[in-house]
Amino acid sequence: MNLGLYGHENEWIAVDCGMMIRQDLPETPLQVPSLETPESLGIQPAAVAITHGHEDHIGAVAWLWPKWQCPVYATPLAAGLLRAKFHELGLSTEAIQVIEPGEALESGPFTLRYLPLTHSIPESCALLIAAGDYRVLHTGDWKLDPEPLIGAPMKGSLFRALAPVDLVVGDSTNAPMPGHSRSEGEVARALESRLAQCAGRVVVTCFASNLARVLAVARAAERCGRRVSLMGRAMERMVAVARGLGYLDDMPPLVPVSDLGYLPPEEVLVIATGSQGEPRAALSRLANGRHHSFELMAGDTVLFSAKAIPGNERQIERLKHALGHLDIAIWDEFNHPELHASGHPAQDELRTFYGWIKPRHLLPVHGERRHQQAHQELAESMGIQAPLAPVNGDLIRLDGDGLSLESRHPQRPCIVSQNAITPLPGLTAERGSSRHGILHLALSVASTRSGWTRIGRLMMDAHRVSAMDEDSFTDWLDERLEEVEAETLAELRTALQPLITSWLGQHLRQLPDVHLQLIAVEVPAYR
């Protein structure tokens, strides 16, 4: 889960803490890092350093932080995404510290410098970790992109100045691939060319975090005379956070999904979540006719601007099968590979980068065994020592003799419900204090064609809760009801609970326990 732990003189720091969605299991639970081994070894990190804002690097921080309660350092975009997660779970955000790319920080015996590089999300950074007489470069995820669309290309001079480093902990994802990965600029031009060929409405699905791709699709749509709409909570959140940081100032105006029905088909383009076949995501709802305000029709086109993550193939094929039943044209990595670019380095990029930093040793991480082995072979051909291909749970020593395997600790999967990562007692709005008061909310709701609506007055019973503006809360709640995507009362409650907790966390000094009751009623009919 991309959780790395670095120790020196019995003091520790953590780098990244991600999660993955287990679509192969019922209810698609989350797999998060198990802390069983660190706890058994007495490892308690004094800080968590985040390299970038992808879910497989930050997705479980909100699960891990209550157990460690240490500072979390992240660049502005990743910090904004983490704050949103913490707010949803009623956790204090005070521990999240913003660090700009290029800056350095100290934690115990460690000095960490954030070094900007290019990846498929802005503000990605490698970490130069110095402790004692050693300097380790933890690359995180990266690629050499001469035209990244958002942000600047990597500066070779910055990394040449580091040479030589004792160890590079390096991205192996594309190590078996010869040549150079495709640039985001190339993908942008391909998208515009292909969109010009599409009739009917177009849905482009990609990772919400790939803001360069989202921007490229939106610009291409505008040039082709199409209006752009976003679909999916993850997409809307990512774009909102990025806009707040000034990353998408030149993105064309967005159209609400509910207004798309008024536009001619050739003027419609939707950017949607769900490229990995996630059953809850927007594209799966469209494929199965379960979206309340948009319906795919024969002659429309779906573009997959994302590569299938290993393990998701079955879900993606099921999704494409459902789209095929609707007579939808499907463009993907197989028939139009130019519509996607990997965010990871191929062999020529690895050689260039290692020529800059001149590492003495390599520890190949990410990817599977064959990716690590290809990475080892490449490193050794350059005179870099790469004796180990680590697996999860390995404790590895770097000393004057190089790299050695200290011990091996097999890791058991840690599976949790998507709704189970909730605040622990005593770790809510104020660090170290318990929730204050109980707030009972009951409201009658009815399903409408565009969402949900409240019927009658909101019933509220607050016990030992600090004063709140009930009118503002009610207005805010009515807006959320209109926007939330839920088909059943249970889904509506699941969607509303974290939103209400987040609102209360931002508007009350102390966060109460919230008990939410929903009552379904029919909309009154008037003649």
Rounded to 10 degrees, the C-alpha dihedral 191/197/198/199 comes to 160
Q: pLDDT tens for the chain, 527 residues: list them.
A: 899 999 999 999 999 999 988 777 777 788 899 999 999 999 999 999 999 999 999 999 998 898 999 999 999 999 999 998 888 777 889 999 999 999 999 999 999 999 999 999 999 999 999 999 999 999 999 999 999 999 999 999 999 999 999 999 999 999 999 999 999 999 999 999 999 999 999 999 999 999 999 999 999 999 999 999 999 988 998 998 898 888 998 899 999 998 998 999 999 999 999 999 988 899 999 999 888 889 999 999 999 999 888 778 889 999 999 999 999 999 999 999 999 999 999 999 999 999 999 999 999 999 889 999 999 999 999 999 999 999 999 999 999 999 999 999 988 888 887 765 543 333 333 333 344 577 788 888 888 777 788 887 788 777 666 677 787 888 888 888 888 888 888 788 878 887 887 777 667 766 677 778 787 776 544 43
Q: What is the pTM of this model?
A: 0.78
Detail the DSSP E strand segments found in 69-201. Answer: 72-74, 96-98, 104-107, 110-116, 125-131, 134-138, 167-171
Quick one: tokens of 21? 């969605």
Spatial distance between the Cα atoms of 77 and 491, rounded to a whole number of angstroms = 29
Bridging pattern class, strands 110-116 and 104-107: antiparallel
CB–CB of 482/450 below 8 Å? Answer: yes
**Three-state DSSP class for residue 128:** strand
CB–CB of 302/283 below 8 Å? Answer: yes
CB–CB of 197/263 below 8 Å? Answer: no
Spatial distance between the Cα atoms of 68 and 91, rounded to a whole number of angstroms = 13
Question: Position 481: which residue type?
Answer: L
Q: How many CB atoms lie within 10 A of CB 263?
A: 15
Sheet holding 72-74, edge to edge: 4-8, 11-15, 48-49, 72-74, 96-98
Q: How many CB atoms lie within 10 A of CB 218?
A: 25
CB–CB of 377/384 below 8 Å? Answer: no
Question: Position 504: which residue type?
Answer: L
CB–CB of 122/151 below 8 Å? Answer: yes
Q: How many CB atoms lie within 10 A of CB 84?
A: 16
Spatial distance between the Cα atoms of 319 and 95, rounded to a whole number of angstroms = 40
